[in-house]
Amino acid sequence: MAVLDRLKVMLPPPDYLARLAAGVDISTSGIKIVLVKPTHQGLKLTNYADLRLPAGAVDGGEVLERAALVEVLKQAKKDLGFSRVNASLPESKSYLFETKSVGLDKETWRTAVEPHLDEFIPLAPAEAAFDIAAVGTEGQETLLAGVGYARRVVESMIAAFDEAGLDLAALESETFALARALLPWGDSSTVLVIDVGKTTTKVAIIGRTIPRFATTIGIGGHALTLAVQKHFGVTEEEAKRVKAERGIVPGPGNEDYLAAMLSTCSAIRDEISRRLSYWQTHAALSPGHETVSRAILVGGNASVRGFAEYLEGALRIPVATGNVFSNFARPEKWLPPLDYDASLAYGTAIGLALRHYAP
């Protein structure tokens, strides 16, 4: 098998045989798509796109205007030349849970968990879709991490891809996909992932590449933009430029501006700190859990100057912006077509595209 796997990398078959799956990350504001291909030097990003969605097409993880979403997917299929996809499901609509089961395989565990599903998620079993993954053992039992969704959320997404004429290979929680992009394969550490988007900040604790806790905070980078707009009385585009240049770094004559920014940053910080503190003092004492050793910043607003240092002072663990190309060809062999700051917004889409390559 090792020889055959090597041949697939060294002599990759044509796309129509390999049926490579694009990573498609759908959010309220738009769709991010990436295509990945194996080469003799390692995995490489071959194409990407950031597409806007009409207002109201997707809101809070729910597909509200399927026709509008379908049209954007159809155009992307035509422009980028893909037909098979791994797509995201929103963290905000997910229910993470943990349990234990006897047995040695996934089907046995699923059979054991399903009758008790309503003990873990607030949905009747008939209304829920779920999946599980092994995260360790305790005596004769296997420790399991699971994720559940309302069946209607899953079915509406499946219907959109079906109408767009796309072969949906997998639907996956965005938190699981993001961990696959950020953590080098084989990394078994427990880390805090902070995904700072436009309107929300997603927080997840990842252990052995599996999400063990996740939540969504209803404040994102756009709130920082609005703070700059209000302070200087400028347009949104000008505020974005000022935010990128100044960040939250102290400077001469910067006091009023910094106070305006920190009023928003502190709200994000406090929410993250509260959840991390609980994990470090309580949850990590449970079997199969470990304390968080570091934090990774990712997302379209993760690169705000001084933000990592600001969080590090409050969380008391190292905080750094992530590398969504951790599992790609080495830098001396290949340079990504995306610049570093822009790449931080593509973590989930990249993780989805990596699904069939991960060990």
Q: How confident is the model at residue 263, as a pLDDT?
A: 87
Same domain membership, residue 226 and residue 165: no
Mean pLDDT of 275-281: 93
Residues 299 and 311 in one domain: yes
Q: Could you tell me the pTM of the whole model?
A: 0.90
Q: Please count the structural domains in the chain.
A: 2
pLDDT at 136 (0 to 100):
85
Asked, for residue 116, whether it belongs to a domain, the answer is no
Distance CA 184, CA 199 (A): 28
Coil vs helix vs strand at 350? helix
**Of residues 7 and 51, which shows the higher confidence score?**
51
- 33 and 173 share one domain: yes
Domain membership of residue 296 (yes or no) is: yes
Residue 210's CATH number: 3.30.420.40
What is the average pLDDT score of the chain?
90
Which residues constitute the domain of residue 241? Answer: 186-323
User: For the chain, what percent of residues have pLDDT higher than 90?
Assistant: 73
Question: Which tens digits make up the pLDDT trace of 106-127?
Answer: 899 999 999 999 999 999 988 9
Q: Model confidence over 191-201: pLDDT tens digits?
A: 999 999 988 99
Same domain, 171 and 33: yes
Cα–Cα distance list, 179 to 128, 183, 187, 332 (Å): 24, 6, 10, 24
* Cβ atoms within 10 Å of 62's Cβ, excluding its own: 15
Residue 228 and residue 353 in one domain? no
Residue of higher predicted confidence among 10 and 290: 290
**Which tens digits make up the pLDDT trace of 181-192?**
999 999 999 999
Neighbours of 4 (CB within 10 A): 7
Q: Do 203 and 311 have their domain in common?
A: yes
| Structural domain includes residue 23 | yes
344 & 202 share domain? no
Residue 142 lies in a domain: no
Residue 16 pLDDT: 44
Tracing tokens 């098979």 back to the chain, one arrives at 84
